[in-house]
Copies of this chain bind each other. A is one copy, B any other.
């Protein structure tokens, strides 16, 4: 690997001039520029980001933290982020945390280390204190998930309202026995969606039955199957399910079909996220669509503004209930 020194030497100029050529300063004569560029080409020289970053103390790298890449929900968000940051000269690196505090700490450290300029986190706040402390000194925004106490700027949807509308939709269809398939309530969205579910029930005079609220721990299809199995073991069986993720809804659907019951005639079902799978099931899934691409773009704009020292406000985007065959 050649260095700026070698380029300078062979081009017969100083390193400063080479640096000027690389950084497109306009105070270099055409002739010099061409000579330097020729040498750069010949030596196959590439400026070391390490040296540059150490000097400028910026890396133009953004970290995107996500619990797991196997949830297709994140894909579109990432596309939005990617498209937005690239146009601004940044790049993103995806960091899978598994919601594991140790892994999270590694990525947090990359920020303190100056290896990255900012973090877009889609992770529930595993290490809350650390995050808040970090966010005070470094650019961090939350996307989709966020910290309820609210010191960190975020972009998200109104999860409570979305869940409320989904459940109200079921109730208006005549459903009275609606179970909730929820995820781990360390996720804020899980807590919010439960609230929306409960609010809808209360509003229509339906009882909130603890035994009809199922908590899955991992976001896997199998957990949706398990949920249905468990809920159907009870004497009083629900006739409708609201799942906080399409992943669970798809698992639930599989189990309902396996029991010989028909959706939506015997059992109604609503999911959340409108992942692409949700349109491949039989029947297709009623679900809540989030503006994922736009959410990604927004998060990207926010983090870049933050890096530039601007104040950024949290943003709530619109969602939409997409009614398909399962209700």
Contacts and interface: CB of A to CB of B under 8 A. Distances in A.
Contact of A277 (B51, B69, B221, B279): B221
A308 interface: no
- Among A47, A54, A57, the most chain B Cβ lie within 10 Å of the Cβ of A54
A49 B110 contact: yes
- Among A49, A72, A96, A110, the most chain B Cβ lie within 10 Å of the Cβ of A49
A47 B69 CA distance: 30
A280 B250 contact: yes
A114 B50 contact: yes
A78 B96 contact: yes
A70 interface: yes
Given A69-B78, A221-B277, 15 more contacts: A1-B112, A47-B113, A48-B113, A49-B113, A49-B115, A50-B50, A50-B53, A50-B114, A54-B54, A69-B75, A70-B276, A94-B95, A254-B280, A257-B282, A280-B281
A106 B91 contact: yes
Interface of A: 1, 46-51, 53-54, 57, 59, 61, 68-70, 72, 74-75, 78, 82, 91, 93-96, 106, 109-110, 112-115, 137, 220-221, 250-251, 253-254, 257, 276-277, 279-282
Contacts of A48: 54, 113-114
A74 B71 CA distance: 12
11 contacts: A1-B114, A46-B113, A47-B113, A48-B114, A50-B50, A50-B113, A51-B54, A69-B75, A69-B78, A69-B94, A220-B276
A266 to B, nearest CB: 15
Nearest to A258: B282
A46 B112 contact: yes
Contact of A251 (B46, B54, B115, B280): B280
Contact of A250 (B94, B113, B257, B277): B277
